[in-house]
Amino acid sequence: MPNRAFSSGRHSPPAHSVRDCWHPIMRLLLLPILLIGFLPAVSHAASDNPATIASSQPKIDAAQAQQLLSVLNDDTKRKQFVTTLTNLSAAQNATKQTSLPDQLLNSLSSFGNQTIQKLHVLGQGIIQFRDIGPWLNKVWHNNDLQTEIFRILVRVVIMIVGSAVLFQAMRFVLRVPREKLSKIAEDSNRRQIHQEAQRLQKVSQTSSSTDDTQNDDGTPPNTAEQTLKDISLEEQLRRQGALSRLLICLRRAPYALGNAALDCLSILMFPLMALLIQSLDPSPDEQTLHSIWTIAWLSGVGMGAWIILLRIFLAPNQPWFRLTILNDYPAKFFYKALRHIGFIIAWGSTALIVLHDCTLPTSVSSGLEKLLALAVHLTIAIMILQSRGIIEHACKQAGRNNKRITSLMQLVARTWWIAALFFDLALWLVWAADIQGGYESILRLFIRTCIALIIMRVISIIFYGGLSRLTRSLSEWKLSKDTQNRVLRYYPLAYRLVSIIMFFLTVLALAIAWGAPVYSLIGHQTLGAQLFSSIITIVIALLVGVVAWEIVNVTIENQIRRLGQQDSAEQKTRMARLRTLQPMFRILLLIILVIVIGLTVLSQLGINTAPLLASASIFGVALGFGSQKLVQDFISGIFLLMENALTVGDSVTLNGTYGAVEKLSLRSVHIRANDGSINIFSFSSLNQVTNYNRDFSRAMIAIDVSYDTDTDEAIRVMLDIAKGMREDPQFAPLIIDDFNLWGVASLNDYSVTIKGTFPTTTSGRWPVEWQFYRRVKKRFEECGIDIPFPTQTLNIHRIDGVKGATEASNHQQSEAKPS
């Protein structure tokens, strides 16, 4: 604790460079430009200008006035004139009814032009450099004036250079006593810090030993009282540490004042140099002496005294001379910033006085004075932005020391720099523009702004708190995990939407607080009201579309999930059918939502949707004639799917092609055949659909035996095979009932056919059938049952006679050939 009480710069806040501050400065400078458009003083000055009013009024000569009187006195001509004016007004009103984007662009353009005009008027009132041209011309052609200005500038340069040399020489002479004084002050400061640290440590140890003694008495300690004692002890040590630091700072006063006295000897070199120039100048004049003594007293003594005062209280590089309890980092920061401000004021004012002595016109000097003040205020603005980290660190430290003001300190840390920048730039604007009652207006504007920000803070707490509470209460709505995740996906978007709404509400509240003509922007039958109504309508349409989309999708997914949790085969089938129809429903719903919301948005943007609807109707009629087949495919597919004729994964035969359903689209079905090929059929072309995956299936068994085989023996073997397959754990789940023997079905040319069926599941037909045939083959071979195959016996009579006739014919043919 003692070490923390006397630490120097251990907890330094983050630094903000000048480069990091340019963007906030530019954004802040944009605010007065927008506010100038609503400044009543400037607009009042511009509106009351007689020259402007006179130039804007048209002039009517006597002949035109006489003609107008003749028209008004004649009833017929007067009626014609009124009719003409009525038609002209109606035509102008019809012309003004443009689309919303055009009205918005026109309003922005008008506002920009008015703001530029008022900025121009304000700039002319603040800075007037029109007299600088004649002055330069006068100096260029007047040799005596050139000589006078040259004499003043030469003395000024001699004054600055000579004072700097004498100043550095005096500091060199006083270097040894200053170092000795610094050494003595540093040793004294270190000794005092060590003594105070030991004292605080003894106080802490004494309190701890007292508590230990009370605990050794055997009395059970009270936890609440012990906690209060610990808190009070910590508070006491903290206050004693702060008091000790303050006492140490006060004990540094003699050394700090001694060091300041040595610095005063150095700054006295400026008046000494001015006195030497006045004494040695052969031809001094009033303007030259005024410029020299201005440098001596304002830039020399004034700036030097300011730096001495800063070193007494801040002492950035020598904390043993510092009379404040600041740490090293804030002391260095404020010393550097305040020194820059003093340098700009001192040397800037000196330069203005010297230029005034050089016969610079008063109007130009006044403009330069306002620019100098602007430079000072901008430097203060940079210091404010760079000190945000320091003030935030101090506010957090104050909040940790006193828990009751933690929220207040957090609010101050976030908003203090905005108020400081506002007052900094507003004070300069009121002074530079010479606005009557400007300071009262600034105070009134600040109070209104604070009230508006407090109201918006309460509204933001309600909005953001309600959004967070809504997301936390999702678990109480008995929603599934997937539904909650779908809702939470929109939380970032909803948060961003609330942020945008709060931004516009804040801008509106600030505009009302600043006296902007809000009613003329968002009043009845204005562009703002129309824009606001259009935005609200578009947002509501989008929200309704999103809610409808999510409700439909969540309902379908919940239904699919509920059907999937049931063991019924019928429910499984319904789930598969619903899963098949889900993509079609989503595409159809998306098309409907896009069309409805798109037309709503276009209508709110001021685009006439009647031609679009007419074009869509014509296109729909043409599309209906040209795509009858496509519509037929779509409608046929809807009915097929609604009737549960096809689902993905079914084994089907479509138009004689067997395969598995792989994909269902809006107009076609994709079949994967056994050879791996894809067969695509449009729904309208399906004349016959054979589905092997509905409810159950049957393995069709047909066995052929020879006529010599005992059919009863063959039937017994088939029943034994069926019984064995029912008991086989591999095939038992695929068989749903006993083997159904039909008996001898037919007597063929060379075989006897025995048929039967095996009731199976939809996926067990082919495995059961193939396994049954395999076992029949093996058992028939074991039992000696002959499986016939097609044979044909030829009986040829008198084969010898045919052979002899063939040989005689061949002999006759050989003799008939010529030799």
Last residue of a domain, one of 395, 414, 436: 436
Nearest to 308 by CA among 357, 249, 259, 364: 259
Mean pLDDT of 756-777: 88
668 and 710 in a common domain: no
- pLDDT band with cut points at 50, 70 and 90 for residue 272: very high
Within-domain flag for 42: yes
How far is CA 690 from each of CA 312, 660, 761, rounded to the nearest angstrom? 102, 11, 16
Give me the pLDDT at residue 526, please.
65
Classify residue 349: in a domain, yes or no: yes
- 270 CB neighbour count, 10 Å cutoff: 28
- Residue 188 in domain: yes
Q: Tell me which of 107 and 786 has the higher pLDDT.
A: 786
Same domain, 689 and 674: yes
Q: Helix-strand-coil percent breakdown of the chain, rounded to 5?
A: 75, 5, 20
Q: What is the mean pLDDT of residues 234-252?
A: 61
**CATH code of 688's domain:** 2.30.30.60
Tens-place pLDDT, residues 479-538:
677 777 777 888 888 888 888 888 888 888 888 887 777 666 666 666 667 777 778 888
**Residue 688: per-residue pLDDT:** 82
Cβ(778)–Cβ(761) under 8 Å? no
C-alpha distances out from residue 42 to 35, 46, 118, 514, 660, Å = 11, 6, 7, 15, 82
Does the pLDDT at position 557 exceed 90?
A: no
Cα–Cα distance measured from residue 364 to residue 372, given in angstroms and rounded to the nearest whole number: 12
pLDDT at 799 over 60: no
Q: Are residues 350 and 325 part of one domain?
A: yes
Confidence check: pLDDT of 209 > 80: no
Domain count for the chain: 4
Mean pLDDT of the chain: 76
Give residue 800's pLDDT band: very low, low, confident or very high (50, 70, 90): low
Q: Are residues 163 and 240 in the same domain?
A: yes
Look at residues 694, 717, 739 and tell me which one is the last residue of a structural domain.
Answer: 694
More confident residue, 446 or 576: 446
pLDDT over 90 (residue 419): no
Q: What is the percent of the chain where pLDDT is above 90?
A: 8
Beta strand pairing call for 678-682 and 697-705: unpaired
Tell me the pLDDT tens digit for each residue of 215-241.
444 444 444 444 434 444 444 445 545
**Residue 795: predicted pLDDT:** 60
- Is the per-residue pLDDT at 343 higher than 90? yes
Question: What is the C-alpha separation between 656 and 689, in angstroms, rounded?
Answer: 9
Q: Is residue 543 situated within a structural domain?
A: no
403: in domain: yes
Q: How confident is the model at residue 804 (pLDDT cuts 50, 70, 90)?
A: low
Note the pLDDT of residue 8.
41
How far is the C-alpha of 539 from the C-alpha of 547, rounded, in Å? Answer: 12
**Is 326 or 67 the better-scoring residue by pLDDT?**
326
Residues 690 and 700 occupy one common structural domain = no
Q: How confident is the model at residue 254 (pLDDT cuts 50, 70, 90)?
A: confident
Average pLDDT over residues 39-59: 42
pLDDT of 106 strictly over 70: no
pLDDT of residue 15: 47
Give the tokens for residue 645: 């004729």
What are the DSSP E strand ranges found in 393-513? none
Looking at the structure, do residues 681 and 700 belong to the same domain, yes or no? no
Report if residue 470 sits inside a domain.
no
Sheet holding 657-664, edge to edge: 678-682, 668-673, 657-664, 651-654, 689-691
Residues in the chain: 819
What range does the domain containing 164 cover? Answer: 137-211+228-436
Mean pLDDT of 55-84: 66
Provide DSSP, 261-327. Answer: HHHHHHHTHHHHHHHHHHHH-SS--HHHHHHHHHIIIIIIIIHHHHHHHHHHHT-SS-GGG--S---
Residue 172 and residue 256 share a domain: yes
Q: How confident is the model at residue 94 (pLDDT cuts 50, 70, 90)?
A: very low
Average pLDDT of span 145-160? 88
More confident residue, 14 or 247: 247
Confidence of residue 345 (pLDDT cuts 50, 70, 90): very high
Residue 266 lies inside a defined structural domain of this protein: yes
pLDDT in tens, 24-45: 545 545 545 444 444 443 334 3
- 331-342: pLDDT as tens digits: 898 999 999 999
Q: What is the pLDDT of residues 613-652, one digit of tens each?
A: 777 677 666 666 666 677 777 777 777 777 777 777 788 8
What CATH number does residue 762 fall under? 3.30.70.100
Q: How confident is the model at residue 297, as a pLDDT?
A: 92
Give the pLDDT of residue 51: 42
- Please give the Cα distance from 359 to 131 (Å, whole number): 12
* pLDDT tens readout for residues 366-410: 888 888 988 999 999 999 998 888 888 888 887 777 777 777 788
Do residue 85 and residue 144 come from a single domain? no
Do 707 and 753 sit in the same domain of this protein? Answer: yes
Residues 6+ apart with CB under 8 A from 392: 13, 413
Residues 646-666 pLDDT 10s? 777 788 888 888 888 888 776
Examine residue 598 and state whether it is found in any structural domain, yes or no: no
| 690 shares its domain with 711 | no
The more confident residue out of 817 and 255 is: 255
pLDDT reported for residue 623: 63
- Tell me: do 740 and 675 sit in the same domain: no
CB 757, CB 698: distance < 8 Å: yes
Percent of the chain with pLDDT over 70: 71
Cα separation values, 144 from 131, 221, 282, Å: 20, 96, 18
Contact at 8 Å (CB) between 277 and 325? Answer: no
Domain check: are 241 and 121 in the same one?
A: no
- 518, 511 in Cβ contact below 8 A? yes
Q: What does the pLDDT read at residue 41?
A: 39
Task: Output 271 or 129, whichever has higher pLDDT.
Answer: 271
- Final residue of a domain: which of 694, 720, 753? 694
Q: What is the pLDDT of residue 813?
A: 62
Q: Which residue has the higher pLDDT, 796 or 137?
A: 137
Once rounded to an integer, what is the mean pLDDT over residues 754-781? 88
